[in-house]
Amino acid sequence: MTDTPKPLSRQQRWRKRNPKSYLAHLAVGAALRHGVIERKPCECCGDPKTEAHHPDYDRPYDVQWLCRKCHKALHAKESAA
């Protein structure tokens, strides 16, 4: 009986392809849990429900706080450029 490796999930494939962004995401999550950084309202629209946007993955704590809508719009604009 041979154990065939289980295929990677979509999330696992993304993590493997994007190690810097994955590590930056983990760093921000840990910093939020430990109170090192504080979540702020969206820089564009002021929505209090935000997520971190990393302009530079080499600086994981230097983030822009954006709501989901503004974050997606920013990435769409970056992709179009």
Number of structural domains found in the chain: 1
Calculate the CA dihedral of residues 58, 61, 62, 67 and round it to 10 degrees.
120
Residue 23 located in a structural domain: yes
Q: Which residues contact 1 (CB under 8 A, 6 or more apart)?
A: none
Q: What is the CA radius of gyration of the chain?
A: 16
- Residue 35 is predicted with a pLDDT of 97
DSSP 34: T
Residue 1 lies in a domain: no
Look at residue 24 and tell me if it is in a domain: yes
Q: Is residue 4 part of a domain?
A: no
Domain-located, residue 27? yes
Residue 55 lies in a domain: yes
Read off the pLDDT of residues 8-64 as tens digits, 9 standing for 90 and up: 999 999 999 999 999 999 999 999 999 999 999 999 999 999 999 999 999 999 999
Assigned domain for 2 exists: no
Tell whether 20 is covered by a domain. Answer: yes
Question: Residue 20's domain spans which residues?
Answer: 10-80
